[in-house]
């Protein structure tokens, strides 16, 4: 929607409120006018989400590649560089060069990093392929511990375990040397990752889990439900979403995302590519994510078609020459027009919500690098819904905000007050919303306070 159209919608909403049609008016007001972003990352950030891509370290010297990466994306997943064969090529000898290169490239530009992957039946180094039983279990746990410790504070999410379920209708675990160490190997990996990094988001990641009616999807769902019930540390589920003629985008994809989210985990689309790159299908995938409050973001599995593991299917958003494809325009439009109705927010009422006194809290996580940092602030409403919020953060001297998303600020330095924008002031009881900012300097320890309207 253009800015002029938004203005018209805003005026219409105000008129409706005036006329007493509050139920309709409130719905429009909640969506609010949002500025249209011009890149995938900026537009996703306006919706409180990220838009990421898989990155290969050996392409960071390719000008076209890096230009698109830096312009469009605000999240990065190393395509192969954090896998077991890359990070522990000899047992006990860790090698982080290529992964660190990607992490530094991303973080120095304010992009967040998804770590992929700590435990997997595939791309194991030779020494690990030859192990079994308790020796393998110990080696796997040591690997999880070492790698999660190395990247602590640098990656925001880990795919702790990748692809542990079998294809087809069995709903069984995939047979592998790791599975043969005992059915509890997955939860053991999650517990080791949590012990190594207390705050990183821990994901289970898989493919062909997009169709809600598939046995594999239901099997993963049952595992996540069980983990949540027993307190196994799991924060999110990654849906790889490699769509093609044999494994098409399912009409019930949104149901899958929202059903997992209802278990109390975040959901993320982690390796999206679509054979033929249908603009309509790309658009639907993004709209499905925007419709689910706990869908944090979308990662495409490569930048240009020529970067894809399935290049002949031309499944990505940019041509091999680096031009935007129709699918790119569709994704950007979906991000700009999408609304984010939190699935758990109460429906609009016929009377305006009371102006307070509701309470809120704010928590901050910081990604610091030499000379700058990104702070992500989570605002959580207390036992009542809130309709506006202001977070106060005292920045240490030398720290200067350079850009921000999802909040407006009173100042760039010193004591900064951050106020909600039109679309995220209302937070349901116990629910959260996030804003963030990038700054030069050193964050130190930030102590945000929150006041609700």
- Which positions touch ligand 9MR (CB under 6 A)? 79-80, 122-123, 162, 207, 240, 271, 309
CA pair distance 282, 394, nearest whole angstrom: 41
Q: Is 287 a catalytic residue?
A: no
Cα 386-390-396 angle, rounded to 5 deg: 150
Could you tell me the smallest distance in angstroms from the CB atom of residue 207 to ligand 9MR? Answer: 6
Residue tagged active-site, from 72, 163, 271, 275 = 271
Cα 442-144-132 angle, rounded to 5 deg: 170
Is the Cβ of residue 117 or residue 258 nearer to ligand 9MR in the bound state?
117
Could you tell me the smallest distance in angstroms from the CB atom of residue 292 to ligand 9MR? Answer: 22
- Tell me the three-class secondary structure of 117-170, residue by residue: EEEECCCCCHHHHCCCHHHHHHHHHHHHHHHHHHCCCCCCEEEEEECCECCCCC
Is the Cβ of residue 123 or residue 442 nearer to ligand 9MR in the bound state?
123
**Residue burial 48-78, b: 16+ Cβ < 10 Å; e: rest:** bbbbbbbbbbebeebebbeebbbebbbbbbb
Contact 417, 409 (CB under 8 A): yes
Could you tell me the smallest distance in angstroms from the CB atom of residue 79 to ligand 9MR? Answer: 5
Name beta bridge partners: 266.
236
Is the Cβ of residue 6 or residue 127 nearer to ligand 9MR in the bound state?
127
Is the Cβ of residue 72 or residue 307 nearer to ligand 9MR in the bound state?
307
User: What phi, psi does 23 have (nearest 5°)?
Assistant: -60, -45
CA pair distance 59, 66, nearest whole angstrom: 8
Burial of 5 from C-beta contacts in 10 A (0-12 / 13-18 / 19+): exposed
- Using CB atoms, what's the residue nearest to ligand 9MR? 309
Could you tell me the smallest distance in angstroms from the CB atom of residue 374 to ligand 9MR? Answer: 25
Could you tell me the smallest distance in angstroms from the CB atom of residue 80 to ligand 9MR? Answer: 5
State the catalytic residues.
Answer: 271
């Amino acid at each position: 929607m253009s800015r002029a159209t938004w203005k018209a919608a805003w005026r219409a909403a105000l008129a409706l409120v005036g006329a007493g049609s509050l139920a309709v008016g409130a719905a429009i007001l909640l969506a609010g006018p949002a500025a249209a972003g011009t890149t995938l990352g900026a537009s996703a950030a306006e919706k409180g989400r990220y838009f990421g891509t898989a990155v290969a370290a050996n392409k960071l010297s390719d000008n076209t590649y890096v230009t698109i990466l830096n312009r469009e994306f605000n999240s990065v997943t190393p395509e192969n560089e954090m896998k077991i064969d890359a990070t522990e090529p000899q047992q006990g000898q860790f090698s982080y060069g290529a992964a660190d290169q990607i992490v530094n490239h991303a973080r120095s530009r304010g992009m967040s990093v998804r770590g992929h992957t700590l435990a997997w039946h595939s791309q194991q180094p030779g020494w690990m392929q030859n192990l079994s039983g308790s020796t393998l279990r110990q080696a796997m746990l040591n690997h999880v511990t070492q790698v999660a410790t190395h990247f602590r504070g640098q990656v925001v999410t880990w795919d702790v375990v990748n692809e542990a379920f079998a294809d087809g209708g069995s709903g069984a675990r995939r047979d592998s040397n790791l599975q043969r160490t005992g059915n509890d190997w997955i939860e053991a990996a999650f517990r080791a990752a949590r012990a190594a990094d207390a705050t990183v988001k821990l994901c289970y990641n898989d493919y062909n889990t997009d169709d809600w009616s598939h046995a594999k999807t239901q099997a993963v769902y049952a595992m996540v439900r069980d983990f949540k019930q027993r307190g196994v540390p799991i924060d999110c589920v990654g849906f790889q979403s490699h769509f093609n003629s044999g494994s098409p985008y399912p009409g019930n994809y949104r149901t899958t995302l929202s059903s997992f989210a209802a278990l109390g985990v975040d959901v993320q689309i982690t390796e999206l590519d679509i054979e033929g790159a249908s603009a309509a299908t790309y658009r639907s995938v993004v709209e499905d994510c925007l419709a689910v409050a706990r869908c944090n973001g979308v990662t495409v599995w490569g930048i240009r078609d020529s970067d894809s593991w399935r290049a002949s299917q031309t499944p990505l958003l940019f041509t091999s020459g680096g031009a935007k494809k129709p699918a790119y325009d569709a994704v950007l439009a979906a991000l700009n027009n999408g609304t984010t109705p939190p699935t758990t927010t109460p429906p609009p009422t016929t009377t305006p919500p009371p102006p307070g006194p509701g309470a809120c809290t704010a928590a901050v996580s910081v990604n610091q690098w030499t000379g700058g940092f990104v702070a992500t602030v989570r605002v959580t409403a207390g036992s009542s819904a809130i309709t506006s919020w202001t977070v106060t953060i005292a920045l240490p001297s030398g720290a200067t905000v350079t850009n921000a998303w999802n909040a407006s600020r009173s100042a760039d330095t010193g004591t900064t007050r951050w106020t909600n924008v039109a679309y995220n002031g209302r937070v349901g009881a116990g629910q959260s919303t996030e804003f963030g900012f990038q700054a030069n300097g050193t964050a130190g320890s930030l102590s945000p306070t929150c006041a609700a309207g």
